[in-house]
Amino acid sequence: MPARILLFYVGTMVVLMSLVPWTEITGEASPFVQIFSALGIPAAASILNVVIPEDVFLVIASIATFATV
């Protein structure tokens, strides 16, 4: 489990921070949204607002499915 956290979250942050310097992240919005906006993807906030709740739902459904087995 901790290896997955390192791989997916910390690894993602390392890649994104290599694209946009840390000093350009203001904290006004999600770091992911700010980085995607800086890279020229202005719809990043909307995309992430759809993707993240969907992923949370899928994780909960997965837990519920395997908890009953």
CB count, 10 Å around CB of 16? 18
User: Is pLDDT of 48 > 80?
Assistant: yes
Instruction: Quote the domain boundaries for residue 15.
Output: 2-67
Residue bearing the bigger pLDDT, 53 or 68: 53
Cα–Cα–Cα angle for 41, 44, 48, rounded to 5 degrees? 155
Calculate what percentage of the chain has a pLDDT beyond 90.
Answer: 3
Contact 35, 25 (CB under 8 A): yes
User: Is pLDDT of 69 > 70?
Assistant: no
User: Is pLDDT of 63 > 80?
Assistant: yes
Exposed e or buried b per residue across 26-57, where buried means at least 16 C-beta atoms within 10 angstroms of its C-beta: eeeeebbbbbbeeeeeeebeeeeeeeeeeeee
Over residues 14-45, the pLDDT tens digits come to 887 788 787 877 878 777 788 888 888 888 87
- Per-chain mean pLDDT for the chain: 82
> In total, how many domains does the chain have?
1
Q: How far apart are CA 24 and CA 65, in angstroms?
A: 42
